[in-house]
Amino acid sequence: MLNKLGDIKSNAQHEIQEADGLSVLESIRVKYLGKKGSLTEILRSMGSCPPQERPALGMQVNKVRALLEEQLTRKQEELSAKMLELRLKSERIDVTVPVEAPHVGSLHPITAVRNELISVFMSMGFDVAEGPEVETDYYNFEALNIPQDHPSRDMQDSFYITENLLLRTQTSAMQIRTMEKQKPPIRIICPGRVFRADEVDATHSPVFHQLEGLVVDKGITMCDLKGTLDAFAKKIYGSDTKTKLRPSFFPFTEPSVEVDVTCSECGGKGCRMCKDTGWVEILGAGMVNPKVLSGCGIDPNVYSGFAFGLGIDRIAVTRYKISDMRLLFENDLRFLEQFKSAL
């Protein structure tokens, strides 16, 4: 019996030593220490031993059991640690590996320029007003001193929806809506889309963007107009920029001017962009016609104002040296992705 116990002990120890997984270890435990295990069997068969040998044998069996239990536990800990280490190694994440950058879009050049213009004017105390793109003939023309059959309507070929409804041809319509709603002092800009039945070419599009400005208060003069637009031009084109006013005509302003700035490309020396003149026209402006003021219920003997309108697309085209205006509206990603830095 003692020999048998010795064999069990050395076999079990050998198997424990060689075990290479937790399940193998568990089957060894069952094989030797389980209910039907070989050690348990020896205990059961002790009845066939002479009574005087039983206590000594019992002690030996218990000793072997304790030893194997201890070795099983140690081996289990060893195997668990080894498996954990393997897992840690195989699941290791190298946080220093460069990641693939997510695809980030960018602002459209027109949006970028519009945002910049808005922030320049807001810093000068202007509010932003927005109005409808489908406009009535009254707001788009009539109230701006452009009566039916007036030749100046020819300058703006329009998309009519009904006889009295059209896609607005100019953001100037918002001057009237604002003055009807709000009493002076008024200081607003209105950026937005406008529409004209123009042929598409490198410098024309039936859809483009304007930014309208309107200031009405007591004692507003041409000096305020010049000072405001000069400050604006310096912020957009650089502090060396000079502005020049040229006489012009708009039915809703009197007097009317066209504002030129020194060419940002050549600094005023003359180049291809400014057609060798050193100047580039950027907007139309003027003192609000008293007829327009009184039409909106504002007394022109008490109040005066100035207004201006500029083309956002034109600023984007010169700012980014875009050779063809059509590029702005074709949504070609190869073009649009060049403006990431405009964000």
Site for ligand DAH in 171-190 (CB under 6 A): 172
- Nearest distance, CB of residue 172 and ligand DAH, angstroms: 4
User: Residue 311: how many CA atoms within 13 Å on its side-chain side?
Assistant: 21
- Based on the shown chain and the rule CB under 6 A, indicate whether residue 170 belongs to the binding site for ligand DAH: yes
195 binds ligand DAH per the rule CB under 6 A: no
Q: Should residue 250 be labelled a site residue for ligand DAH when binding is judged by CB under 6 A?
A: yes
| The dihedral sign for the CA sequence 243, 248, 254, 255 | positive
Kindly state the smallest distance separating residue 202's Cβ from ligand DAH, in Å.
19
> Cβ 179 to ligand DAH, closest distance in Å?
12
Confirm if 238 and 122 have CB atoms less than 8 A apart.
Answer: no
How far apart are CB 252 and ligand DAH at their closest, in Å?
6
In terms of CB distance, is 72 or 194 closer to ligand DAH? 194
Q: Answer yes or no: are the C-beta atoms of 181 and 205 closer than 8 Å.
A: no
Cβ proximity to ligand DAH, 236 vs 285, nearer residue: 285
Torsion of CA 76, 78, 83, 85, to 10 degrees: 150
> Which residue's beta carbon is nearest to the bound ligand DAH?
309
Interatomic CA distance for residues 44 and 223, integer angstroms: 117
Beta carbon of residue 260, minimum distance to ligand DAH (angstroms, whole number): 14
Residue whose CB is less far from ligand DAH, 250 or 303: 250
Beta bridge partners of 109: none
Residues numbered 146-165 forming contacts with ligand DAH, rule: CB under 6 A: none
Measured CA to CA in angstroms, residue 7 lies from 10, 12, 39, 43, 233 at distances of 5, 8, 11, 15, 101
Contact 319/342 with Cβ under 8 angstroms? no
Using rule CB under 6 A, residue 208 touches ligand DAH: no
Contact positions with ligand DAH (CB under 6 A) in 251-310: 253, 284-286, 307-309
Do residues 44 and 57 make contact, with C-beta atoms less than 8 angstroms apart? no
Q: Are 48 and 95 in contact (CB under 8 A)?
A: no
Sites for ligand DAH among residues 111-130 (CB under 6 A): none
CB of 338 to ligand DAH, least distance (A): 29
Task: Select the residue interacting with ligand DAH from 212, 229, 243, 282 (CB under 6 A).
Answer: 212
Task: Write out the H or E segment, with its range, that includes residue 8.
Answer: helix 2-18
Return the number of the residue (268 or 284) whose C-beta is nearest ligand DAH. Answer: 284
| Distance in angstroms (rounded) separating the CA atoms of residues 330 and 109 | 13
Q: How many CB atoms lie within 10 A of CB 214?
A: 25
Shortest reach from residue 102's CB to ligand DAH, in Å: 41
The residue among 172 and 262 lying less far from ligand DAH, judged by its C-beta, is 172
In the bound complex, what is the minimum distance in angstroms from residue 247's beta carbon to ligand DAH? 12
Q: Considering only residues 33 through 72, tell me which ones interact with ligand DAH, judged by CB under 6 A.
A: none
Closest CA to 143 of 179, 104, 190: 179
Report how far residue 255's alpha carbon sits from residue 98's, in angstroms, rounded to the nearest whole number.
62
Interface positions with ligand DAH (CB under 6 A): 170, 172, 212, 250, 253, 284-286, 307-309
